[in-house]
Structure 1
């Protein structure tokens, strides 16, 4: 049959329309490729940078998860940038200021500081698509949000606990601590350990420089570092804190100044790991790293309370969040990795509870079923801590500046270079300065 020019044009138009409908919105979803990317986009090479802090155990596990992700999505490459906690935020702040921050950023409860700088992406548009949160408790998800926007997905929950070296306790001849103790009883027990263990050994690490431990202490008298946009504690609470630790040192419950300042007390440089101190405050998610670093078995009990009539100081702490750089060029792929990190069965099994007890109930159940003896201790302790906790407070803004002042003042008190009243005023002034900072 002879084709007319009009008929040929009509056939061409219909064919062109069909082609366009397959690749424009409303024309049907594109097919999925075998590696999980949309057909036609599988060859698009995407490179992301990801930064986190932690001990070697965390580095190894995270790198393994990146490797698993890259196998599943071979078009996406993730370059890890990791280090210990010291200097992490200084480096990150420099990168953000220079417009060169990584695409994926591990943050703690200081993430509001970075929201205020416009450094983080609202990931709400990716929820239910690239990121699935149906198995997360609402409170876990809410912990990463502000003002109706979501800036991070929780990687786990932790709680403070007193870790103790079981072998040193046996050597001392004392009964293991039960965790049912006041600050006075804690100090006396540590003093008894020091005496029983002999020269070169101490009952407990000096923890006076830790801001969140000060906050734990303050909460027992219904105070807090930060509440309703204001500093929530006073000079008397800080002075009590410094005085208590000064009394511990004088009693021999904790080591002298030169000994204390020789250690960071991170697993890589710790008197507790070296078996020179018997008790050390840790986050529950650090139990694996400490246990891997030392041969003696560790147990964990609740930290000291304020005694009869005191408020509960403990809280369940969101350990870290994985956030996305507001300037990333590949937000969808960054969101895909976050989902993989918190939901993929193989990935979550690799990560375990190192960053804290996972937010997904489905993941928690899977991990419990295959828990190592150390992981089981973590889960058991979180269950115990949950029964002895109350709602957490928002962390103090611009917290690094305040932390530096507390560290400096605690060391000056430690070496007798500053009086407790003056040091307490300096710490309070630093808190007020950062809270009022615009």
Structure 2
């Protein structure tokens, strides 16, 4: 459905603007989301740490993005390589090279501030097994050596569950975890923050607990990007890249 919408959108976009940002291999979370949908989780705590990743899932994922590139649904390799997609200052979306991109929900206000076009927000494509994770943005913790544990707990409770605190924080540090705070801050919220709340409410009944990252996660992120670039520049086939990706996962899992 997403790809079909992209084809419809492409016909209405000006030359040089793709329907989607290439988010195939520029970070690991979207890949992990897809693997979970496929029933082949990237990494779990089963048996002390186990991956269910398969080369078939890798090939499906990489082929989907290769097909999108071939059809002009994502920017070409050079354009994609120009933008790191880590924030509004290096985004193909903000630069007007693509109409839809994947970002963290608490980045939406920052992206909107960098643009004159009005941004909307929608959920990730669904299908297969439940995969949505409400990933923590920040944690508040109490030192085990604190002399005032009860006071500290009350302070944290105030930040997490009190509408007046939520009104100050809004979505800058993530979506409020308390439904009471979300309802209270949703009243009179900016259009940008209201869009983020709508996403949370839409997926709240189909989320799964946040799982662990693959061991040596940063190395995985770095190598994943290189694998994707090799396909985009024609230096590797999808089949070879899928095998390389599976080998990378297996190597890092035991490193």
2:74 aligned partner = 254
1:350 offset after TM fit, Å? 2.9
SS at match of 1:349: helix
Give 1:263's match in structure 2, choosing from 78, 83, 93. Answer: 83
SS at match of 2:12: helix
Q: If you compute each CA radius of gyration, which structure gives the higher value, 1 or 2?
A: 1
CA distance in 1, matches of 2:57, 2:212: 19
Q: Report if the CA contact (8 A) 1:224-1:393 is conserved.
A: no
1:397 offset after TM fit, Å? 2.7
- Within 5 A, what are the aligned runs for 1:400-411? 400-411=218-229
Give 2:195's match in structure 1, choosing from 357, 371, 377. Answer: 377
CA distance in 1, matches of 2:32, 2:106: 19
Q: Answer yes or no: is 1:282 the counterpart of 2:103.
A: yes
Q: Answer yes or no: is 1:429 the counterpart of 2:247.
A: yes
1:370 offset after TM fit, Å? 4.2
CA distance in 1, matches of 2:187, 2:132: 27
Relative to its length, the structure with more helix (as a share) is 2
Give 2:167's match in structure 1, choosing from 344, 349, 369. Answer: 349
Q: 1:293 to 1:410 in 2, by over 3 A?
A: same
Q: Report if the CA contact (8 A) 1:194-1:203 is conserved.
A: yes
1:294 aligned partner = 115
- Within 5 A, what are the aligned runs for 1:93-132? none
Q: Deviations over 1:153-202 (max 9, x none)?
A: xxxxxxxxxxxxxxxxxxxxxxxxxxxxxxxx322322332332231111
Q: Answer yes or no: is 1:237 the counterpart of 2:57.
A: yes
CA distance in 1, matches of 2:250, 2:141: 28
CA distance in 1, matches of 2:148, 2:90: 37
- Within 5 A, what are the aligned runs for 1:178-193? 185-193=1-9
Q: Deviations over 1:267-314 (max 9, x none)?
A: 1121211232111122322221111211111122222233xxx22332
Q: Report if the CA contact (8 A) 1:413-1:419 is conserved.
A: yes
CA distance in 1, matches of 2:223, 2:42: 14
Relative to its length, the structure with more strand (as a share) is 1
CA distance in 1, matches of 2:147, 2:111: 36
Q: Report if the CA contact (8 A) 2:17-2:98 is conserved.
A: yes
Q: Which structure has the higher relative contact order (CA within 8 Å, separation 6+)? A: 2
1:412 aligned partner = 230
- Within 5 A, what are the aligned runs for 1:186-225? 186-209=2-25, 210-225=27-42
Q: Deviations over 1:198-255 (max 9, x none)?
A: 3111111011113111111112221111121111211111111111100000011111
Does 370-379 or 230-239 show the bigger shift?
370-379
Q: Deviations over 1:124-150 (max 9, x none)?
A: xxxxxxxxxxxxxxxxxxxxxxxxxxx
SS at match of 1:318: coil
**Corresponding pairs, count:** 247
1:341 offset after TM fit, Å? 5.4
Q: Answer yes or no: is 1:316 the counterpart of 2:134.
A: yes
CA distance in 1, matches of 2:184, 2:33: 32
SS at match of 2:89: coil
Q: Report if the CA contact (8 A) 2:18-2:74 is conserved.
A: yes
TM-score by length of 2: 0.84
Q: List runs of 5+ in structure 2 lacking aligned partners.
A: none
Q: 1:422 to 1:357 in 2, by over 3 A?
A: same
Give 1:273's match in structure 2, choosing from 71, 94, 109. Answer: 94
SS at match of 1:233: coil
CA distance in 1, matches of 2:170, 2:147: 25
1:356 offset after TM fit, Å? 1.7
CA distance in 2, matches of 1:312, 1:431: 22
Q: 1:198 to 1:373 in 2, by over 3 A?
A: closer
1:389 aligned partner = 207
Q: Report if the CA contact (8 A) 2:75-2:97 is conserved.
A: no
